[in-house]
Amino acid sequence: MKRAISLSVAAIALTVIAAGCGGSSKSSSGTTSTTAAGGKGGTMLTVANAAPSGSIDTQVNYTLQGWQLYILTHDGLVAFKRAGGSEGTKIVPDLVESIPTPTNGGKTWVFKLRSGIKFSNGQALTGNDVKATFERLFKIGDSPNAGTWYNGIVGADACLKTPKTCNLSKGIVVNGNTVTFHLTKGDPEFLDKLAVPFAFILPASTPAKNVNIPPPGTGPYMWAQYAPTKQIKLTRNPYFKQWSADAQPAGNPDVIIQKFGLTPDAEVTQVENGQADWMFDQIPAGRLNEISTNYTSQVHINPLTQVEYMALNTRIPPFNNLKARQAVNFATDRNALVKIYGGPKLATPTCQVLPPGFPGYEAYCPYTINPGSGKWTGPDMQKAKQLIAQSGTKGMAVKVNTQNTDPQRSYGLYFVGLLNKLGYKATLQPLSGSIQYPYVQNSKNKVQMAWSDWYQDYPAASDFLVVLLGCDSFHPNSNSSPNIAAFCNQSIQAKMDQAGKTGITDQAAANTQWAAVDKAVTDQAPWVAMMNTKYVNFVSKRVKGFIFSPQWYFLLDQASVK
Amino acid sequence: MAEFAYEPEPEVVLAPGEARQEITGKSPWRLAGRRLIRNRSAMAALAVFLGLVAVCLAAPIYAHHIAHTQAIEPNYTGTTVVNGKRVDVIQQGGGKLGIGEIPISPTWHVNYFFGADTAGRDVMARALYGGRASLFIGITSAVICCVIALILAMVAGFYRRWSDSVLSRAMDLIWAFPVYLLAISLATVLLTKPNGLQWGPIHVVPSSLWVPTWIIAIVYVPYVFRPVRGQVLATREKEYVEAATAAGASNFRLMFGEILPNVISTVIVMLPLMIATTVLTEAALSFLGIGVQDPTPSWGTIIQDGQGLLYERPLVAIVPGIMIVLTVLSLNVFGDGLRDALDPRSKVR
Amino acid sequence: MIAFIVRRLIGLVFVLFAISVLTFLIFFAIPGVDPSRSLAGRNPTPETVAAVKHEFGLDRPLPIRYGLLMKRLFISRDLVSYGNTAVKVVPELTAAAPITFSLIIGAAIIWAVLGIAIGVLAVVAKGTILDPLIMVLALIGISLPVFWLGEVANLLTQDRLHNTFLFSWVPPLGYVPFTQDPWQWFLHLIIPWITLSILYIGFYARVLRANMLDVANEDYVRTARAKGLSERNVLTKHILRNSLITVVSLFGLDFGVLVAGGALLTEVVFGLHGIGYITYQSFQSLDLPVIMATVLYGAFFITVANALVDVVYASLDPRIRLA
């Protein structure tokens, strides 16, 4: 997924900080995730520049900002364990009593709902609510992944054609508290898809159109107020009783507020002064030094599974030429990009698609001087110039498209300078954050080189490789085509399909296959992969018990303000 | 004959310090020139302004031959020599966590005199380059604006009736569009057109300096149009115009022979003030990101760059601001002096 | 007089209509900006995008789209922002208006009082060193770019001198509603007020001084002095009052421009989410409904201010009514 778009004012340097490093060999410097826990009660006051963009409907919103709050107010059938480190990638039962083993070749899943769970409006949770939730996913018409993630449910195809009359009685069979899912084919990622907010269970009475405030949920908090130009207010759900500390622990603060309207710079000042407990937006690069020197214990740096890259359009000149793409990869000085971000402690250069620590990751970097170690060490300008000469694309005009705020704009300027050095005629095309992403996906706009980034939706290699580089992810002339590079290589696609099939039965073998796919794709250079970043969280002095989950990042309600 | 002997003395306007006999028999332009030269503060301001222009024009010389630093291209991994030691231009941040990257502080030496900005570029050299863009846009758009406004005002004021109606309403319309909004609208649209604009052989790239130049020029045309039109209307009624018409002069000759010379002093007085206004407007638009586009520097974009560094390296934002203030101030003082010289009677803008 | 007012009103409606069409056309010309995509959320299916397009009337011909936009803006007032569908445009602007008005009215009071005081002072001190000194300061004031001045003010009050007794009281950037906490509202606005007013103080001081010197040469002033009135009397009752006419009309025009969103830069630099700020953001994200609303709002106020000033002038000077 992408982060929420924060509409910053003018060019305030935002730092996107994420480093992929899920607890394996590389260690993150600086403070670690957990600190001593505190007590219950109090109001946690958080700040963000703007409300999560788009609709606030739990089945539509696809922003980190929204998702971090939905996990506090709603539940899915299963959940990612609320813990830090690699524990947080495990799936545990949430609304169901236990995780079933699928039968029938992975096509049938029988879930038994826990009894006694109530929504925040007092209604009891039943199997009908589950069925109604999934039908609503299709009925509302604008749920982003209805057609791509949940189309495996029997009857979903018909729902995609005629959403308003969606009926999933064949795909979701309700028998009291037992809910049976029938899929059209096995899906090794089915549980992950049930654990994200799109599939969080809503009351069956929820109207089948976009809501202006999230509907009642089963979580420890409920949405008391959503004023998109002012604030969000979450208060305790009076009907919540903790049933699983792993899946949905009771929260510490009594009230959680998220106020909108300040610039990230002003937010930093507020957190420093104790007027806010946490800021959602990333710390502007110019303040990093200040907070790390004067407020060291309040800064938390955590690894992320994320990648930043420049997509190269593989279908139009000059980057429809493989040598040209590889040349740019060789020429890029990833150290400069790391500096733009905030330094080597916050970002690590990468040449490949998958982030470190991800299933299927094996370090691989051919685009460096002295390749072979798997790590990027330095640019090879000579090789780059050679390749450019061989490609015959020298002198062509290239437009580099990025967002118009820092650091993306600075990346863009760097690449403009680099391309000019290589002999192209490069210019920068900066667009506002809220329109850049759809713009670069649409092939009609003939974007040659565009910045983008990707955070995991859930820990599966396909979430990166297939979603961003699979043939099916390219939709010509559509604003919704996550394969920005328009990359489609038949033999690599076959390998992807194979790895997907293997994963149904043997995840470990599949991961080896995904690693091979990663290498093959990297060799084709549809991207200039830039770096994997780390996430910097800045909290106020009184916040205790900071836990960073690899899936949901800062777990707001597990910290205390008292 | 006695009855016709009395001729009222023509009203003579003297500038302060001028003696009556000095001005008899001299052409008004010559008189104006003399008054201007005698005005020391105006001359000093003019010297400051021309000095700024000269220094900014010399930006490449400074960057390449004196400072040997980068002013345009990003320079993240560059190094320089400070106090005999070679250091990174952008250094890793301090604190135990070691996060953040900071550009070097002012060295007060020839290289990186005012320090570096976030991309490792020399602030001093960049400010000079920025001056080229800002002054070019400022001066050119002011000139274009005054020329267009003059022509339109002459047409409107001379022909009156429907041409005056149409033009005045059009000017009202442009002026009712809040100045910055109009500029922002035009800039936004032009900048998102990926291939720029194309009219036949003319191809305007979005990053060209002509885009903000023309936008700013158009936005201020109504502002110059109004007073000039008033002058044209007033001059039109004067006796010498009537005399020339009676003598059989064509419209063209009337406009350019009689009216223009008398109206042009208004425009000349407005010119330095318009340059000051356009420089400020360009800085504001670039600051908002819709004026001059990166990587071309202008004073406004440098201030915008300096925003993120405001607390760490404030000079990045302060230096271009001071240059703007100097430019605008000197133009204002000179404009005052110009007005005093051309028309010692008027004291209001 | 009535005919004059009616003529101006008709002109106002015409201007607003023309501007709305102009704005609509300008922004329709932007390629690749298809709001249906961002309205449909992330990763939607093509069917989703088509459905959203239809719901927002984006697949209809231009004149109908324009008509729909105007109807939603003025008649049903349920126009929705493209950036966040839960945000209604008209209430958003209405909520932001108090912020802009707080900023402008406070600054206006400061610059009116100080501008007049300094202008009068310069006239009274004519001949001494004080006069040119004041004029130089005024000149510097009008040469400062307001956004740069705001940045420098922030640098001093928020950071460098924040811990000294001078500025430790300065709160972080932002706005606190008067109804919520009047004292905080005041503290948050002082520095923006001063920043915004410095430009106008210099300007009005100069204009007033020039006007007063002109008026001082008029015959009736000479008569007043000859009659034996005290200098103070002459100054206030005769010179000042007559000089204020120009100042008042200029004030009306400037205030109109500021209300229309001219305080945009100040709002952006100080994090005050008034109309100017919303305007700027809407342009950045090409949020057409909000753009249209803010532009029309701005044009309305400027035209009204112009008309009001003309009416005031006309009532004072009959010659203008006949023009």
Per-residue three-class SS string for A346-415:
CEEECCCCCCCCCCCCCCCCCCCCCCCCCCCCCCCHHHHHHHHHHHCCCCCEEEEEEECCCCHHHHHHHH
Considering only residues B4 and B208, tell me which one the structure prediction assigns the higher pLDDT.
B208
- pLDDT score for B3: 43
Q: Determine the residue among B41, B168, B172, B180 to mutate to test chain C binding: the one whose Cβ has the most chain C Cβ atoms within 10 Å.
A: B180
Q: Coil, helix or strand for A341?
A: helix
Interchain contact, B308 vs A431, CB within 8 Å: no
The letter for the amino acid at A240 is F
Average pLDDT over all residues of chain C: 79
Whether A218 has a pLDDT exceeding 80, the answer reads yes
Percent of chain A whose pLDDT exceeds 90: 62
Q: How would DSSP label each residue in B130-186?
A: HHHHHHHHHHHHHHHHHHHHHHHHHHHHHH-HHHHHHHHHHHHHHHHS-HHHHHHHH
- pLDDT score for A23: 30
Q: How far is CA B81 from the centre of its chain?
A: 38
Average pLDDT rounded to a whole number, residues A495-504: 90
Nearest to B333 among C139, C268, C302 (CB): C139
Least confident of A235-249, A340-354, B198-212, B271-285: B198-212
Least confident of A168-172, A425-429, B133-137: A425-429
CB of C179 within 8 Å of a chain A CB? The answer is no
Considering only residues A209 and A128, tell me which one the structure prediction assigns the higher pLDDT.
A128
The token pair that represents A489 in the structure block: 């290589």
The token pair that represents A432 in the structure block: 């506002």
| Angstrom distance (rounded) from CA B109 to CA B188 | 40
Whether A35 has a pLDDT exceeding 60, the answer reads no
For B136-171, write each residue's pLDDT tens digit: 999 999 999 999 999 999 888 887 778 888 888 888
CB of C33 within 8 Å of a chain B CB? The answer is yes
* For chain C, the helix, strand and coil percentages under 3-state DSSP, each to the nearest 5: 75, 0, 25
Average pLDDT over all residues of chain A: 87
Whether B129 has a pLDDT exceeding 80, the answer reads yes
Considering only residues C87 and A453, tell me which one the structure prediction assigns the higher pLDDT.
A453
Q: Coil, helix or strand for C162?
A: coil
- C126 class by beta-carbon count within 10 Å (0-12 exposed, 13-18 middle, 19+ buried): middle
- pLDDT score for A230: 82
Q: Beta B90-92 vs A347-349: how paired, if at all?
A: unpaired
CB of C45 within 8 Å of a chain A CB? The answer is yes
Cis peptide before A318 (omega within 30 of 0): yes
Interchain contact, A285 vs B310, CB within 8 Å: no
Beta bridge partners of B284: none
- pLDDT score for C52: 63
Whether A283 has a pLDDT exceeding 80, the answer reads yes
The token pair that represents A499 in the structure block: 């790895």
Whether A19 has a pLDDT exceeding 70, the answer reads no
Whether B91 has a pLDDT exceeding 90, the answer reads no
Find the closest chain B residue to C18 by CA distance. B173
Chain A residues whose CB is inside 8 A of the C49 CB are 478-480
- pLDDT score for A404: 81
Give the helix ranges, DSSP H, for B237-259. 239-246, 251-253
Least confident of A198-207, A501-510, C21-30, C293-302: C21-30
The letter for the amino acid at A450 is A
Question: Distance from A132 to chain C by nearest Cα, in Å?
Answer: 20
Chain A and chain C share a number of CB contacts under 8 A equal to 135
Considering only residues A230 and A90, tell me which one the structure prediction assigns the higher pLDDT.
A90
Interchain contact, A342 vs B101, CB within 8 Å: yes
Q: With contact defined as beta carbons under 8 Å apart, do A249 and A560 qualify? A: no
Q: With contact defined as beta carbons under 8 Å apart, do A518 and A538 qualify? A: no
Whether A190 has a pLDDT exceeding 70, the answer reads yes
Q: Which chains touch B (3 or more CB pairs under 8 A)?
A: A, C
- pLDDT score for A419: 95
- pLDDT score for C85: 65
* For chain B, the helix, strand and coil percentages under 3-state DSSP, each to the nearest 5: 65, 5, 30
| Angstrom distance (rounded) from CA B139 to CA B217 | 10
Least confident of A94-103, A413-422, A474-483, C36-45: C36-45
Interchain contact, A29 vs B97, CB within 8 Å: yes
Q: How would DSSP label each residue in B64-76?
A: IIII---SSS--T
CB of B204 within 8 Å of a chain A CB? The answer is no
Nearest to C52 among A9, A142, A439 (CB): A142
- pLDDT score for B349: 33
Burial per residue of A109-143, b for 16 or more beta-carbon CB atoms within 10 angstroms, e otherwise: bebbbbeebbbbeeeebbbebbbbbbbbbbbbbbb
For C234-255, write each residue's pLDDT tens digit: 777 777 777 777 777 778 878 8
A120: nearest Cα among A201, A200, A216, A213: A216
| Angstrom distance (rounded) from CA C89 to CA C112 | 33
Whether A50 has a pLDDT exceeding 50, the answer reads yes
Average pLDDT rounded to a whole number, residues A493-510: 90
**B194 falls in which pLDDT band (50, 70, 90)?**
low
Interchain contact, C39 vs A229, CB within 8 Å: no
CB of C10 within 8 Å of a chain B CB? The answer is no
The token pair that represents C269 in the structure block: 């630099």
ipTM of the complex: 0.80
Nearest to B177 among C140, C145, C299 (CB): C299
Q: How many CA atoms lie within 13 A of A279 on its CB side?
A: 29
Strand ranges (E), C156-213: none
Chain B residues whose CB is inside 8 A of the C15 CB are 172-173, 176
Nearest to A478 among C46, C86, C271 (CB): C46
The letter for the amino acid at B294 is D
Whether B6 has a pLDDT exceeding 70, the answer reads no
Interchain contact, B102 vs A289, CB within 8 Å: yes
**B39 falls in which pLDDT band (50, 70, 90)?**
confident
Chain A residues whose CB is inside 8 A of the C47 CB are 141, 147, 160, 163
The token pair that represents B58 in the structure block: 């010399």
Whether B299 has a pLDDT exceeding 70, the answer reads yes
Find the closest chain B residue to A293 by CA distance. B95
Average pLDDT rounded to a whole number, residues B226-230: 84
Interchain contact, B76 vs A343, CB within 8 Å: no
Q: With contact defined as beta carbons under 8 Å apart, do C81 and C291 qualify? A: no
Nearest to B100 among A333, A343, A429 (CB): A343
Interchain contact, C302 vs B173, CB within 8 Å: no
Nearest to B328 among C143, C152, C261 (CB): C143
Residue C197 host element (H or E): helix C182-216
Average pLDDT rounded to a whole number, residues C70-89: 73
Average pLDDT rounded to a whole number, residues C135-153: 89
Interchain contact, C30 vs B287, CB within 8 Å: no
- pLDDT score for A353: 95
Nearest to B284 among C30, C147, C298 (CB): C147
**A112 falls in which pLDDT band (50, 70, 90)?**
very high
| Angstrom distance (rounded) from CA B220 to CA A525 | 50
Question: Distance from C100 to chain B by nearest Cα, in Å?
Answer: 15
Q: Beta A548-549 vs A527-538: how paired, if at all?
A: unpaired
Chain A and chain B share a number of CB contacts under 8 A equal to 134
- pLDDT score for B203: 63
> Rounded to whole angstroms, what are the CA distances from A544 to A536, B97, B106?
16, 20, 40
| Angstrom distance (rounded) from CA C301 to CA C257 | 7
Q: How far is CA A366 from the centre of its chain?
A: 27
- pLDDT score for A313: 96
Q: With contact defined as beta carbons under 8 Å apart, do C195 and C157 qualify? A: no
Interchain contact, C32 vs A432, CB within 8 Å: no
CB of B303 within 8 Å of a chain C CB? The answer is yes
Q: Determine the residue among C158, C283, C297, C319 to mutate to test chain B binding: the one whose Cβ has the most chain B Cβ atoms within 10 Å.
A: C283
Average pLDDT over all residues of chain B: 82
| Angstrom distance (rounded) from CA A455 to CA A63 | 10
**A214 falls in which pLDDT band (50, 70, 90)?**
very high
Whether A496 has a pLDDT exceeding 90, the answer reads yes
Least confident of A233-242, A297-306, B153-162, C284-293: C284-293
Least confident of A67-76, A425-434, B3-12, C195-204: B3-12
Burial per residue of B85-115, b for 16 or more beta-carbon CB atoms within 10 angstroms, e otherwise: eeebbbbbbebebbbbbbbbebbeeebbbbb
For C201-218, write each residue's pLDDT tens digit: 988 888 888 878 777 777
Interchain contact, B348 vs C207, CB within 8 Å: yes
Nearest to B283 among C145, C158, C294 (CB): C145
Q: Which of A235-239, B220-224, B288-292 has the highest mean pLDDT?
A: A235-239
CB of A273 within 8 Å of a chain C CB? The answer is yes
Average pLDDT rounded to a whole number, residues A356-374: 92
Residue found under tokens 């035209």: C303
Interchain contact, A265 vs C173, CB within 8 Å: yes
CB of C15 within 8 Å of a chain A CB? The answer is no
The token pair that represents B67 in the structure block: 């400072």
Q: With contact defined as beta carbons under 8 Å apart, do C293 and C88 qualify? A: no
Find the closest chain C residue to A5 by CA distance. C83
Q: With contact defined as beta carbons under 8 Å apart, do A303 and A518 qualify? A: no
Whether B220 has a pLDDT exceeding 60, the answer reads yes
Q: Coil, helix or strand for A453?
A: strand
Q: With contact defined as beta carbons under 8 Å apart, do A298 and A538 qualify? A: yes
Chain A residues whose CB is inside 8 A of the B194 CB are 399, 429, 445-446
Radius of gyration over every alpha carbon of chain C, rounded to an integer in angstroms: 24
Q: Determine the residue among B99, B203, B205 to mutate to test chain A binding: the one whose Cβ has the most chain A Cβ atoms within 10 Å.
A: B99
> Which residues 185-224 on chain C approach chain B with CB closer than 8 angstroms?
207, 210-211, 213-214
Percent of chain A whose pLDDT exceeds 70: 93
Nearest to C261 among B178, B283, B284 (CB): B178
CB of A2 within 8 Å of a chain C CB? The answer is yes
Question: Distance from A397 to chain B by nearest Cα, in Å?
Answer: 11
Report which DSSP code applies to A124. Answer: B
- A237 class by beta-carbon count within 10 Å (0-12 exposed, 13-18 middle, 19+ buried): buried
Whether A328 has a pLDDT exceeding 90, the answer reads yes
**A215 falls in which pLDDT band (50, 70, 90)?**
very high
- pLDDT score for A151: 87
3-state SS string for A5-28 = CCCCCCCCCCCCCCECCCCCCCCC
CB of B78 within 8 Å of a chain A CB? The answer is no
Interchain contact, A10 vs C173, CB within 8 Å: no
**A123 falls in which pLDDT band (50, 70, 90)?**
very high
Q: With contact defined as beta carbons under 8 Å apart, do B303 and C130 qualify? A: no
Question: Distance from C320 to chain A by nearest Cα, in Å?
Answer: 44
Nearest to A289 among B74, B100, B192 (CB): B100
Percent of chain B whose pLDDT exceeds 70: 84
CB of C87 within 8 Å of a chain A CB? The answer is yes
**B46 falls in which pLDDT band (50, 70, 90)?**
very high
Report which DSSP code applies to A118. Answer: B
Q: Coil, helix or strand for B312?
A: coil
Interchain contact, A7 vs C31, CB within 8 Å: no
